[in-house]
Amino acid sequence: MVDYHASNNQASSGGPAVYMDPREQENDWDRDLLLDPAWEKQQRKTFTAWCNSHLRKAGTQIENIEEDFRDGLKLMLLLEVISGERLPKPERGKMRVHKINNVNKALDYIASKGVKLVSIGAEEIVDGNAKMTLGMIWTIILRFAIQDISVEETSAKEGLLLWCQRKTAPYKNVNVQNFHISWKDGLAFNALIHRHRPELIDYDKLRKDDPLTNLNNAFEVAEKYLDIPKMMDAEDIVNTARPDEKAIMTYVSSFYHAFSGAQKAETAANRICKVLAVNQENEHLMEDYEKLASDLLEWIRRTIPWLENRAPEKTMAEMQQKLEDFRGYRRVHKPPKVQEKCQLEINFNTLQTKLRLSNRPAFMPSEGRMVSDINGSWHNLEGAEKGYEEWMLNEIRRLERLDHLAEKFRQKATIHESWTDGKEAMLTQKDYETASLSEVKALLRKHEAFESDLAAHQDRVEQIAAIAQELNELDYYDSPSVNARCQKICEQWDALGSLTQSRRESLERTEKQLESIDELYLEYAKRAAPFNNWMEGAMEDLQDMFIVHNIEEIQGLITAHEQFKSTLPEANKEREAIQAIQAEVQKIAQYNGIKLSGGNPYTTITPKSIDDKWHKVEQLVPQRDRALQEELAKQQSNDHLRRKFATQANIVGPWIQTKMEEIGRISIEMNGTLEDQLVNLREYEQSIIEYKPNIDQLEGDHQLIQEALIFDNSYTAYTMEHLRVGWEQLLTTIARTINEIENQILTRDAKGISQEQLHEYRTSFNHFDKDHSGALMAEEFKACLISLGYDVENNKAKRTGQMDMDNYRALLVATGNSLGDAEFARIMGIVDPNNSGAVTFQAFIDFMSRETTDTDTADQVIASFKILAADKNFITAEELRRELPPDQAEYCIARMAPYSGPDAKPGALDYMSFSTALYGESDL
């Protein structure tokens, strides 16, 4: 309560009682407290004019201040007008007691407003004591015209003086330091008017050396245009060494109240503009988020079916084109989308921070466009991507295997078909019917040799059937033609078997009648047939296609080839022995004079064919040597590619891991101002980006490996896929860390949090974040609040000093674990709305800033609109356009619903529902 009182010295000396707030006392008020005659004259005129400015509203006025208040009637009326309240009914009698009772009612009402009246009694007022009456009026002026004036939480007098200083600061020759001599030249009064109504005064034409003109100009303009009555005479002020302070204060307070309405409207308009600007910016950010989220989700929606398409291609070329398309997707199309996704999360976090700082409801994206939805779709994309790459590599391996098997099938089928050509005709001929005994024996031996040859070819037929079966199992695209050819070979093989059996039976029936046999021919045939088959098998093996994937496999083939070459001398001896048999036949025939007709009757294998095939084998051996050495060189090159990739990967992988750990430490151990941290983090981010050429080099090495169809690498545990994911996580993590600091700067600037407070918050948070996870569990968070002096039970902050976890648990035990469970549950609902059980640092500082700073509220915005609407419950478009900037006025008009209250008028707009909608309390 403000205690206005008068000095006992002044009352006892007969002067008027002066009533003031003890905080506003000045030395010049306490001199001898005797009213100077010039001051008394000024007070009479000023106080009378002030009283009449209010009594006019009741249709009356006073002429003599000490006479007209003696009966208490106009005094009570004055108090009712200036307070807006009803006083007790006055007594209408003319007797002295009636007057005293009325004055006492007025004095009692003044005392009820917290004013302590000292040395003023009703008798002095009724008796017409001028000094007491002026003192009483000054008390009323202080209480009802000056007391409520406060600028930056100053006292009434200081607030009024500060207001005058600010308003007149831009004007030359004006220096308001008090309420007496600073106003003598009249320039301060003119400056106040010009500051608020520049069209009423030409300030530049006023002269400091002409105070009478200046004062009269200000008094006349104020009375004519501002409805401020003339309360003083210019001559009295100029001719007084020190004008009366109370008179000046009374008159200046009329200017303050005259202009306060405009100031309130200006303040209200500024508040509304600020709120609308925040809302417009947030709406733009929401629209940008929705569009970016829709575009990214649409791209993912189109891409996943492409990655999930597992329709196999028929040829290696087609599958390799698919792989090349996938590489283009990984190199060209996906990286920008990774950046878009990261930027989308950053934009979403920034928007939510701005909404929290402006006391707006959290942004809820439209259905299916939440950050979690995008992360889910992205996860599905990466799952499809990984499966797609594995499928293509498996398909390439399968097609490679199929091509190899198909070529092997064709080679073996061609050899077999070449061998079987004419065999059916041979087995069905009846030559033995007209042959001699020796010829029949020869035919039988020849048939035995054929059976031996046939048995030797059984393995090749089984190989052909096995290859065809494997091609079918691997889903070879040309399986029908393979199956048809294999079926034909098998059927022909079965027919040959039947024909062979039939011919043998025929020959054996004839054998009983045939005895001549050329043993030598037979021996030749028996030895030549397997040797010839061996050579054919050797030629087939030497020309056989091979496929290997590493050095060990090619070295195994080289070893096997060397072993084959080591058997060639023994094979050559067998060839020479077979040729010696034929030579012996010729020798015996010549010796006995036998004329040989035709060739060996038991075999079609001639010495020349044996020599030709042997020479072919000798030619194929060095060719096989060269092919194996070329493949060895290729595998050595592939091994070099593996080592090159592994060397770089074994550097890049640990580097990425180290940087991830460094970022984790940086986010916990940040020092310096937030701006310093932001600069350091951006420099750190740039150093990471500058490492990108190493990733690109690794991508190039990886592409060379894939183009070489290398599918494994024993020199490193890192795959390109792991390194890509690590690199993308590294870029995303540093970007999120920078965004966290940016959001902290936004919070600090918007909420007025000092750097020391933020440092204290970070230190306490890190202290209780024992596992360095970047989040506090509920018990850790509660301990952190207590350590910062936050009274969880009484919902207020008080400095209690730092408290570690052990002391906190001890406190829980000592207090029966009752530190405001309900209040703490409310706090957790704010900082952890998703009930995750953890509180992030951003949520923590948002809560601390919201608890310790003021923000705009819906009620404040409604109050501001009410000022612009001149206290009406609605506002018109014309008023909005007059008070607000054009774009924000039109923004309100487009969104305000028509007002439907009982006092509605055409064109009335509902600013109340609009204001609450801004803060999420209702829908527009």
Q: pLDDT, tens digit, for every residue of 448-491? A: 888 888 888 888 888 888 888 877 877 777 788 889 989 888 98
Angle in degrees, 0-180, between the axes of helices 607-668 and 568-592, rounded to the nearest 10: 170
Separation CA 67–CA 126 (nearest Å): 8
The total number of residues shown for the chain amounts to: 924
Q: Which segments of the chain have a pLDDT < 50?
A: 1-34, 513-517, 592-594, 796-806, 808-809, 811-819, 922-924
Task: Please report the pLDDT score of residue 176 as a whole number.
Answer: 94
Fold for 271-403, please state it: Methane Monooxygenase Hydroxylase; Chain G, domain 1 (1.20.58)
- Residue 122 phi/psi, 5-degree rounding, is -60, -35
Separation CA 682–CA 142 (nearest Å): 59
Residues of the chain with CATH 1.10.238.10: 858-919
838-840 and 875-876 as β-strands: parallel, antiparallel, unpaired? unpaired
Separation CA 239–CA 741 (nearest Å): 65
Cβ distance 313 to 395 under 8 Å?
yes
Beta-bridge partners for 796? 791
- Residue 456 phi/psi, 5-degree rounding, is -65, -30
Task: Please report the pLDDT score of residue 32 as a whole number.
Answer: 35
Cβ distance 394 to 711 under 8 Å?
no
Token pair listed for 823: 């209040």
Cβ distance 209 to 238 under 8 Å?
no
Separation CA 673–CA 680 (nearest Å): 11
| Inter-CA distances, 636 with 111, 549, 623, 796, Å | 107, 11, 20, 74
Which contiguous run of DSSP H or E holds residue 775? Answer: strand 775-777
Fold for 657-792+812-849, please state it: Methane Monooxygenase Hydroxylase; Chain G, domain 1 (1.20.58)
**Alpha-carbon torsion (168, 169, 174, 177), positive or negative:** positive
Separation CA 536–CA 416 (nearest Å): 11
Residues of the chain with CATH 1.20.58.60: 271-403, 422-605, 657-792+812-849
Separation CA 467–CA 460 (nearest Å): 10
Separation CA 29–CA 242 (nearest Å): 13
Q: Using CB atoms within 10 Å of the CB of residue 409, give its burial: 0 to 12 exposed, 13 to 18 middle, 19+ buried.
A: buried
| Inter-CA distances, 450 with 495, 533, 586, Å | 14, 11, 24
- Which CATH class, in words, describes the domain spanning 422-605? mainly alpha
Separation CA 650–CA 74 (nearest Å): 98
Task: Please report the pLDDT score of residue 215 as a whole number.
Answer: 94
Task: Please report the pLDDT score of residue 382 as a whole number.
Answer: 85
Task: Please report the pLDDT score of residue 28 as a whole number.
Answer: 36
Separation CA 333–CA 322 (nearest Å): 15
Q: Is 685 left (phi over 0), alpha (psi -120 to 50) or beta?
A: alpha
**Domain 858-919 annotated CATH 3.40.50.720:** no
| Inter-CA distances, 792 with 751, 786, 814, Å | 21, 7, 16
